[in-house]
Amino acid sequence: MPIDVRPISDDELVPWVDTASTGFLERPDHEAIAAEVRPHWDLRRTWGAYDGSRIAGTLRTWPTELTVPGLAQVRGTAVTGVTVLPTHRRRGILSQLTAAEATAARGRGEVVALLYASEFPIYGRFGYGAATTSATWTLDAAAAELHPAVAPAGSVELLPSDDAGRDIAIGIFDAWRARQAGEIWRRPIMWAQDFGKGTAWGPPWKGFLVVHRDGAGSVDGYARYHVEGKWVERQPRNKLILDELHALTDDAYAGLWRFLASIDWVTRIEAEKRSPAERLPWLLANARAAVMSDVGDGMWVKLLDIPRALAARTYERSRSLVLEAIVRDGGETDSTAARVRVALDASPDGATAQPTDAEPDLTLNGAALGAAYLGGTRLRDAVLARGFDEHRPGALAEADALFATDRPPWTSTFF
């Protein structure tokens, strides 16, 4: 029987959650999750793949904004909840779901599609490339004194992690994401869950909120954390899990880390989904107190509208190139896939990117463009997996230099 892919109706939400949790090998309370998410999810963006009346596959999206190099924000669709029942795998159902969503997202005028990949090999074939890099930082709190030359001004204050505290954090986060290529807008339901409201998926967050204030008393940074208690031979060895830390100034960044490392009973701090370019070790008298691990692909990007995406960012060099991208949304092969040709005139002040019939300088897979788009993944590396065709010698090196940015992108928001 052919599989029918369409948005679900309200009475299909519970079976949709059932299928999704089966795909993720979990057994939560489906009714409770459906009740919790119903007011927040847009069912027009909640796809089911139907085998008869049975939902055999799931994918849903929510609208967001992505900050790009040059700090413009482009509209994006954030893809999540992707599953296919183990009884239905490898029959092309995910391919149907990704193709349906790509068409719908273009229809909505969204420029990029974003996701986190459970497994690396899944999404390259659908035009997604690993665009940001994520890392875990571990800090030996006892050895984490700031370098004497680092003397952050300002103060730190514990706030209740209630609605008012959450709104202060949102204000700082939104100011911060406008300055950080790779960061995205977060939905209210994510903030609610981050601050311990609900969730039928697991125990609610119970932790602490701290803000940093500058000399004039304005809030310019925040951190959220919780603690795993541990005592060894009657000595405290607690581990602080840093859920997030965002700072608008260098003083706020250093001041918040200094505060966290000074908390009595805490000997170790762990922070996931941080940037590998973190300044933390360089602020310490003993840089080895901060150790980076678990470095790998963070958020993946697919360019849905290549001309608009390329025109939205700035470039640190000036160059004109004609690029041809092979665009795959679902089950296409390279020979059946669409080809999009764009004349890119790029400069530090901005860019134009127009569809063209001109001969291309470089043909490459759309997934490589998605990977390099935010400047964090080098184009010369991203093309390796799927190949490229250089029609003019030197075109790949020029495009590689054009897309790279001095400051790496970072996405702290997981979805």
Ligand X SMILES: CC(C)(COP(=O)(O)OP(=O)(O)OC[C@H]1O[C@@H](n2cnc3c(N)ncnc32)[C@H](O)[C@@H]1OP(=O)(O)O)[C@@H](O)C(=O)NCCC(=O)NCCS
Residues marked active site are found at: 123, 415
CB of 190 to ligand X, least distance (A): 17
For 179-298, where are the E strands, in sequence order?
208-213, 219-228, 231-232, 235-236, 238-247, 266-274, 290-297
Residue 114 sits in the site that holds ligand X (CB under 6 A): no
Secondary element (H or E) of residue 254: helix 250-262
Residue 90 sits in the site that holds ligand X (CB under 6 A): yes
Residue 3 sits in the site that holds ligand X (CB under 6 A): no
Amino acid, single-letter form, for residue 80 = T
The residue from 87, 103, 118, 218 that contacts ligand X (CB under 6 A) is: 118
CB of 47 to ligand X, least distance (A): 12
CB of 46 to ligand X, least distance (A): 15
Helix then strand then coil, % of the chain, to nearest 5 = 30, 35, 40
Q: Which stretch binds ligand X (CB under 6 A): 114-122, 164-172, 258-266, 295-303?
A: 114-122
**CB count in 10 Å sphere of residue 14:** 15
- CA–CA separation, 339 and 342 (whole Å): 10
Residue 27 sits in the site that holds ligand X (CB under 6 A): no
Closest to ligand X by CB, 122 vs 200, is 122
Residue 17 sits in the site that holds ligand X (CB under 6 A): no
Instruction: Please say whether the beta carbons of 351 and 314 come within 8 A.
Output: yes
Residue 386 sits in the site that holds ligand X (CB under 6 A): no
Sheet holding 208-213, edge to edge: 155-159, 208-213, 219-228, 238-247, 266-274, 133-140, 290-297
CB of 20 to ligand X, least distance (A): 9
CB of 113 to ligand X, least distance (A): 13
List binders of ligand X among 125-164 (CB under 6 A).
125
Closest to ligand X by CB, 5 vs 240, is 5
Closest to ligand X by CB, 220 vs 329, is 329
Q: Which stretch binds ligand X (CB under 6 A): 89-97, 258-266, 308-316, 398-406?
A: 89-97
Instruction: Please say whether the beta carbons of 367 and 124 come within 8 A.
Output: yes
158, β-bridge pairs: 210
Closest to ligand X by CB, 58 vs 363, is 58
Residue 2 sits in the site that holds ligand X (CB under 6 A): no
Closest to ligand X by CB, 114 vs 353, is 114
Give me 339's structure tokens.
Answer: 């080809």
375 in the Ramachandran plot: left (φ > 0), alpha (ψ -120 to 50) or beta?
Answer: left
Instruction: Please say whether the beta carbons of 60 and 415 come within 8 A.
Output: no
Which of 86, 19, 78, 105 is CA-nearest to residue 330?
105
Which of 94, 119, 72, 132 is CA-nearest to residue 382?
132
The residue from 21, 83, 412, 413 that contacts ligand X (CB under 6 A) is: 83
Closest to ligand X by CB, 134 vs 267, is 134
Residue 91 sits in the site that holds ligand X (CB under 6 A): yes
The residue from 95, 136, 138, 193 that contacts ligand X (CB under 6 A) is: 95
Closest to ligand X by CB, 58 vs 161, is 58
The residue from 13, 93, 256, 396 that contacts ligand X (CB under 6 A) is: 93
Residue 234 sits in the site that holds ligand X (CB under 6 A): no
Please list, residue by residue across 64-87, b when 16 or more beta carbons sit within 10 angstroms of its beta carbon and e when fewer do: bbbbbbbebbbbbbbbebbbbbee
Which of 183, 204, 202, 181 is CA-nearest to residue 193?
204
List binders of ligand X among 165-194 (CB under 6 A).
none
Give me 288's structure tokens.
Answer: 């080895």
Q: Which stretch binds ligand X (CB under 6 A): 7-15, 93-101, 158-166, 319-327?
A: 93-101
The residue from 13, 68, 84, 111 that contacts ligand X (CB under 6 A) is: 84
Name the site residues for ligand X (rule: CB under 6 A).
23-24, 82-84, 89-95, 117-119, 121-122, 125
